């Protein structure tokens, strides 16, 4: 694994962060919004060491993690995981499910 001069490798950073999180979290495994935002920021910082820019975010509607691979020269989104069309389809399926199984008679 390539290491940026003066910075720990991703593996070292991840191991250290995991150890710190384990000390702070105690026996709780739930992640609150503040912890999640901190993790997203940490991942974004680590992604800056690679040639392509990675953007980590949480979709507000679904609560799912979204990862975008961005061309640093053109700022074009090369790939999104999960893809936008899949996220849109899941949203519409959820709406359809509500219509099909409504509780009113």
pLDDT 10s digits, 18-67? 445 555 544 456 778 888 888 888 887 776 655 678 899 999 888 899 99
Is residue 67 in some structural domain? yes
Is residue 7 in some structural domain? no
- Domain of 71 in residue numbering reads as 31-100
Total tally of structural domains belonging to the chain = 1
CA distances in angstroms from 86 to 12, 13, 59, 92, 97, listed in the order given: 34, 32, 13, 10, 16
Claim: this prediction has a pTM higher than 0.75: no
Is residue 13 in some structural domain? no
Is residue 14 in some structural domain? no
The average pLDDT across 10-15 equals 45
pLDDT 10s digits, 70-83? 988 788 999 999 99
């Amino acid at each position: 694994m390539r290491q940026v001069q003066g910075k720990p490798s991703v593996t070292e950073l991840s191991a250290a962060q995991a150890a710190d999180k384990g000390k702070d979290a105690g026996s709780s495994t739930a992640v609150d919004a503040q912890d999640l935002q901190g993790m997203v920021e940490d991942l974004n910082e680590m992604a800056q060491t690679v040639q392509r820019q990675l953007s980590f975010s949480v979709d507000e509607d679904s609560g799912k993690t979204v990862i975008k691979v961005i061309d640093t020269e053109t700022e074009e989104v090369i790939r999104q995981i999960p893809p936008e069309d899949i996220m849109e389809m899941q949203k519409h399926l959820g709406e359809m499910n509500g219509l099909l199984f409504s509780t009113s008679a």
